Copies of this chain bind each other. A is one copy, B any other.
Amino acid sequence: METSVAQPGTSEATSERRGDCYQQLRNEIVSGRFHPNERLIEADLARRLSAGRSAIRAAFVRLDQEGLVVLEPNRGARVRLVSDREALEIEEVRVVLEQLIVRHAAQRASAVDLRDLRRSIDEMRRRLDEGNPMGYSELNAEFHQRIWRIADHETAARLLANLKSQSLRFQYRTILRPGRTEQSLREHERILEALAARDPNGSEDAMREHLSGVVETLRWAIEAQRHQPIWLPR
């Protein structure tokens, strides 16, 4: 899976030089390589990525604006800790944006679009039956991103991509909930049906249903964690 969706400052030239070290840092952060609140030292990173301090600095500014790191004057950058509350907020926003997008998609989906979505779902079913739920998360992301592409709503898609990168470290929790994947699959089916029927309202409802589930799951996970803390920040 990749988190790379079109972003404002990211040109798509083949031998892109600028976004390079930004992308690299970004990936390392969203994939959880750094601890929350871990301090990021310009010189270290510059050496490790074999880039100048200027580049690292620019990347920091961007990541700060994006909400992935916090940049304090004279104190450098640390990876931003997203609170439980904020994670919920992010999911809430995600729900309404996905609704907006799926509504557009319902008005624009072509036959081949629908066929591709069908295939995505079939593949998910296959993996699930194989007892291989590990790839499910990737396929899930793919399914949604396919819808983004169909909707052709750059603004919403961009915001969603940003939000997603922020909430990434929470997402794995929602996956692990027992019995969730089976239900998720059914919800995907419903979304596809509504899209195939070119039904904007139906699609929107199906998407809301689907993602409200995710929000509830997240709420549940956070609650569970609160009563059995694994890791205490010092």
Contacts and interface: CB of A to CB of B under 8 A. Distances in A.
Nearest to A98: B96
A176 interface: no
A225 B29 CA distance: 45
B93 A9 contact: no
A89 interface: yes
Nearest to A64: B9
A62 to B, nearest CB: 5
Contacts of A90: 155
Which among A13, A73, A163 has the greatest number of chain B C-beta atoms within 10 A?
A73
Contacts of A65: 7-9, 61-62, 65-66
Contact of A89 (B13, B57, B86, B154): B154
A217 B93 CA distance: 25
A20 to B, nearest CB: 11
Given A97-B96, A156-B92, A8 B61 contact: no
B64 A154 contact: no
Given A18-B73, A65-B66, A92-B156, 18 more contacts: A7-B65, A9-B70, A9-B71, A13-B73, A57-B58, A58-B61, A61-B62, A62-B64, A65-B65, A86-B154, A89-B153, A90-B155, A92-B153, A93-B159, A96-B96, A96-B99, A155-B163, A159-B159
